[in-house]
């Protein structure tokens, strides 16, 4: 009995063992220096961009095989930074209710934010629309066995209802060489009409 109790107590920790994607601050870099973003997770590969010594809220979307490098985006591409110079920003895991996410996609171009400006609110914008649609988030749930792997959420607004599934999975926007750690399937339904979108998401401060 004691053995099973111990396993149950450790269960949530195991489920949330992988924190990525998540936000990090640069640390341990001299004021007159920068943190290099490299083409591959190795000091022997070219530098493709730089982060300021005091850069904040840098999204790390993945981890190298040796767990020493983090994958980040810079301009229209992505590269690797040494994790020893990054410190996690305190805050909710991306799958927790209240976490802030920004999502988007192409064909057509659209944006969808979750808890970004207002907690408990989702906002949708698209080039094809002349207005911004605001929805109240009514529910959110993770998967029973793997709550850090995928979440579902939904809500309602003046233009009907929305539902979405967001998964921890490599995602590309189709317009650049950027990498994202989350993908989204987004649906809107109002009466007998429905529409769906697919895209990528980022964690935001």
Q: Give me the pLDDT at residue 58, please.
A: 98
Helix/strand/coil for 11: helix
pLDDT digits (tens, 9 = 90+) for 166-177: 999 999 988 889
Q: Which residues of the chain have pLDDT under 50?
A: 1-17
The domain defined by 20-88 folds into: SH3 type barrels. (2.30.30)
Q: Give me the pLDDT at residue 32, please.
A: 97
Q: Give me the pLDDT at residue 167, please.
A: 97
Which helix (DSSP H) or strand (DSSP E) does residue 144 occupy?
none
pLDDT digits (tens, 9 = 90+) for 80-94: 999 999 999 998 899
Q: Give me the pLDDT at residue 2, please.
A: 42
Q: Give me the pLDDT at residue 10, please.
A: 36
Which helix (DSSP H) or strand (DSSP E) does residue 92 occupy?
none
Q: Angle CA(121)–CA(204)–CA(107) in degrees, nearest 5?
A: 75
Sign of CA dihedral 71, 73, 76, 80: negative
Give the chain's end-to-end CA distance (angstroms, integer).
42
Domain boundaries, the chain: 20-88, 101-203
CA 48/CA 76 separation, integer angstroms: 11
Q: Give me the pLDDT at residue 120, please.
A: 97
pTM: 0.87
Q: Give me the pLDDT at residue 139, please.
A: 98
């Amino acid at each position: 009995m004691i053995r099973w109790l111990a396993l149950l107590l450790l269960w949530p920790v195991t489920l949330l063992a992988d924190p990525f994607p998540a936000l990090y601050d640069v640390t341990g870099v001299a004021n007159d220096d920068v943190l290099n973003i490299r083409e591959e997770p190795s000091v022997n590969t070219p530098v493709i961009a730089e982060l300021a010594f005091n850069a904040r809220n840098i999204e790390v979307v993945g981890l190298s095989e040796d767990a020493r490098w983090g994958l980040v985006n810079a301009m229209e591409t992505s590269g690797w930074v040494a994790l020893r110079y990054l410190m996690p920003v305190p805050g909710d895991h991306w799958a927790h209710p209240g976490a802030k996410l920004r999502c988007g996609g192409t064909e057509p171009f659209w944006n969808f934010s979750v808890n970004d400006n207002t907690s408990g609110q989702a906002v949708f914008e698209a080039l094809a629309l002349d207005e911004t649609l605001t929805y109240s988030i009514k529910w959110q749930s993770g998967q029973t066995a793997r709550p850090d792997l995928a979440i579902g959420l939904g809500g309602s607004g003046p233009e009907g209802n929305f539902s979405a599934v967001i998964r921890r999975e490599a995602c590309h926007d189709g317009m650049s060489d950027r990498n994202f750690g989350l993908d989204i399937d987004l649906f809107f339904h109002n009466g007998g009409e429905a529409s769906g979108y697919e895209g990528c998401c980022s964690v935001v401060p």
